[in-house]
């Protein structure tokens, strides 16, 4: 038996998220498992580093599977990419330790959220960024973003999902906001993220910058531990899982 680690890129636009669904909706995990089962002529279970929701993209999702085979990683990668739909690409396949686990061994995850900030939308970028035409105060957003850094209870920034039984304490060690031309990119790195947490954080920062919330609001929201205290979530298409660190 061998363990293989996959690094996966996908356009999440036409997927009902990463995880296999009971109702049979199209998912990234489902598509890859179907192809793996064809390659190895038996059921192969793929375990990802975590879920991404409907419409969310990835450049560096990580998953693993175990199988008895003599095929090298490069041959598995070639077979996968030949048979997978064009909105999924396997960037790397490598044999790893039998002890490796894509979910439990993950230490940090890095996400980006992309905003197109100008007066007119874009045709080519419509599936990978959020069009936001209002003027934004980057300095104010950066100052507020500092309130998220560290180990905190993020109850105010997570939508309730009873299927995910986990506490709300997470550690964020990086939250950068950069502008290049009309594009604003949020880069956030943490040891884990709650359901819609990144989208709620970005949405709140936008509302602070737009004047709905006064400066200093982020710290007050965190203390309340109440989802109703924070801002609205931004749409899913601007979110991308960039990297998982082990």
Q: What is the pLDDT of residue 163?
A: 41
Give the whole-angstrom CA distance, residue 12 versus residue 128.
9
Residue 147 Cα distances to 61, 119, 143, 217, 233, angstroms: 27, 30, 8, 9, 18
56: how many CB neighbours lie within 10 A of its CB? Answer: 25
Distance between CA atoms of residues 61 and 15, nearest Å: 15
Tokens at 32, concatenated:
């890859």
Q: Please list the active-site residues.
A: 53
H or E, element range at 64: strand 57-67
* pLDDT, tens only, 171-204: 999 999 999 999 999 999 999 999 999 999 999 9
Mean pLDDT value across residues 96-110: 96
The reported pLDDT for the residue numbered 24 is: 79
User: Residue 208 carries which DSSP code?
Assistant: H
239 phi, psi to nearest 5 deg: -95, 135
Please state, rounded to an integer, the average pLDDT across all residues of the chain. Answer: 94
Whether residue 164 is predicted with pLDDT greater than 70 in this model: the reply is: no
Where do the domains of the chain lie, and which CATH numbers do they carry?
Answer: 2-96 (3.30.70.580), 108-245 (3.30.70.660)
Give the integer Cα–Cα distance in Å for 208 and 229. 13
For range 109-118, the mean pLDDT? 97
Query: Which residues does 157 contact at the CB level (< 8 Å), separation at least 6?
Result: 194, 197, 200, 201, 204, 221, 222, 227, 230
């Amino acid at each position: 038996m061998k363990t293989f680690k996959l690094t996966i890129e996908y356009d999440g636009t036409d997927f009902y998220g990463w995880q296999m669904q009971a109702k049979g909706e199209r998912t990234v995990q489902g598509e890859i498992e179907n192809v793996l089962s064809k390659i190895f002529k038996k059921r192969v279970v793929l375990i990802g580093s975590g879920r991404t929701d409907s419409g969310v993209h990835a450049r560096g999702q990580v998953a693993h599977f175990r199988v008895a085979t003599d095929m090298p990683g490069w041959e598995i990668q070639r077979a996968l990419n030949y048979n997978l739909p064009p909105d999924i690409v396997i960037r790397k396949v490598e044999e790893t330790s039998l002890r490796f686990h894509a979910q439990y061994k993950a230490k940090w995850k890095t996400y980006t959220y992309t905003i197109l900030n100008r007066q007119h939308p874009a045709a080519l970028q419509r599936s990978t960024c959020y069009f936001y035409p209002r003027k934004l105060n980057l300095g104010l957003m950066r100052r507020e973003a500092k309130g998220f850094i560290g180990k905190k209870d993020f109850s105010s920034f997570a939508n309730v999902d009873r299927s995910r039984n986990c506490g709300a304490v997470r550690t964020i060690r990086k939250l950068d906001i950069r502008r290049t031309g009309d594009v604003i990119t949020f880069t956030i790195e943490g040891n884990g993220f709650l359901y819609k947490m990144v989208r709620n954080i970005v949405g709140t920062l936008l509302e602070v910058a737009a004047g709905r919330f006064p400066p200093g609001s982020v710290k007050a929201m965190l203390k309340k531990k109440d989802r109703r205290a924070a801002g609205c979530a931004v749409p899913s298409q601007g979110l991308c899982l960039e990297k998982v660190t082990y």
